[in-house]
Structure 1
Amino acid sequence: MKLPKPTDSELAILQVLWQEGPSTVKVIHEALSKTRDIGYTTALKLMQIMHGKGLLTRERLGKTHVYQPAISQEKTQKQLLNKLMDTAFQGSAMNLIMQALGNQKATSEELTQIKSFIEKLEGGQNENTQ
């Protein structure tokens, strides 16, 4: 089953839920209002649409609904990255990574993590059997 692709606004809601955990519309609205101009009813409507698309689940607690993501952050990121790589970089992981590293200055800690990751990829299964 193909996961639905979230819009930018839906992704912002998912990011709040991934960070905060299961939340009400009020909590989501307050978090989103810190960085963008969004009305309560707009947030509610978006979350209802997301529920209908299968991006969110909800549980009724008293008079309120508590929403949570139906898909993990990792799966969503992977789906979006694959789509970006296929459309903007003709499927080339190297071009995507080179562009990403060229656009932002990586910290020495990030570069160390990247090098470690590459070494694990080069080492294959040998390092995983320690």
Structure 2
Amino acid sequence: MEKLTNKEEEIMHVLWRLEKAFVKDVLAEMKDEKPHYNTLSTIIRNLVDKGYVGYNAYGKTHQYFPIVTKEAYRKRFINTAISNYFNDSYKNMVSFFAKEEKISVEELKEIIELIEKNN
């Protein structure tokens, strides 16, 4: 599974949310800078080529749908990020977020409770 560009990820989030969509539907859902229709169509075709998106053809029109689930993508790239940036250590990752004040003591306690429940 290949890492997606930021724009490709943005489009995948729209497709995950909509489940099935034509290019015009994806364009309508995009929040930030909207690409030109033809550019968006090309990016979606690239997602098809990469194996992330499938489609149903209706004449010259295509309705697109995600093949890769959001959960599968998240799992793959969270693991890659932890490996690349935190030396394969979840402790280092949590410590980083604690130092950056991105996670509170209460949230850490909730995480500990979840871990203890699963053991």
TM-score bracket for this pair, using the shorter chain length: 0.7 to 0.9
TM-score w.r.t. the length of structure 2 is 0.84
- Displacement of 1:43 in angstroms is 0.5
Which consecutive segments of 4 or more residues in structure 1 shift more than 4 A?
A: 104-108
Question: Which residue number in structure 1 is paired with residue 69 of structure 2?
Answer: 72
Query: Residues of 2 paired with 1:35 and 1:66: CA distance?
Result: 22
> Distance in 2 between the 1:65 and 1:82 partners?
33
Kept after mapping to 2: 8 A contact 1:29/1:43: yes
Q: Does 1:18 align with 2:16?
A: yes
Q: What is aligned with 2:2?
A: 4
Calculate the aligned-residue CA RMSD, in Å: 2.2
Do the aligned partners of residues 92 and 106 (structure 1) sit closer, same or farther apart at CA in structure 2, a change above 3 Å counting?
closer
Q: Which runs of 5+ in 2 are unaligned?
A: none
8 A contact 1:22–1:67 mirrored in 2? yes
2:85 is equivalent to residue 91 of structure 1: no
Listed one character per residue, the Cα deviations across residues 18-52 of structure 1 (whole Å, up to 9, x for unaligned) are: 112211111111222x3114111111000001101
Could you state the TM-score of these two structures normalised by the residue count of structure 1?
A: 0.78
Cα distance in structure 2, aligned partners of 1:22 and 1:101 = 38
Distance 1:26 1:78, change over 3 A: same
Match of 2:112 in 1: 118
Which ranges of structure 1 fall in alignment gaps of 5 or more residues? 126-130
Shift of 1:101: 4.3
Helix, strand or coil: the match of 1:84? Answer: helix
The amino acid that maps onto 1:86 is S
Residue among 58, 63, 81 paired with 1:61: 58
The aligned residue for residue 40 of structure 1 is 37
Shift in Å, 1:95: 1.6
1:128 paired residue number: none
Query: Residue deviations 1:50-94, cap 9 Å, x none?
Result: 101101011113442111111110111111111111111111111
CA distance in 2, matches of 1:84, 1:26: 33
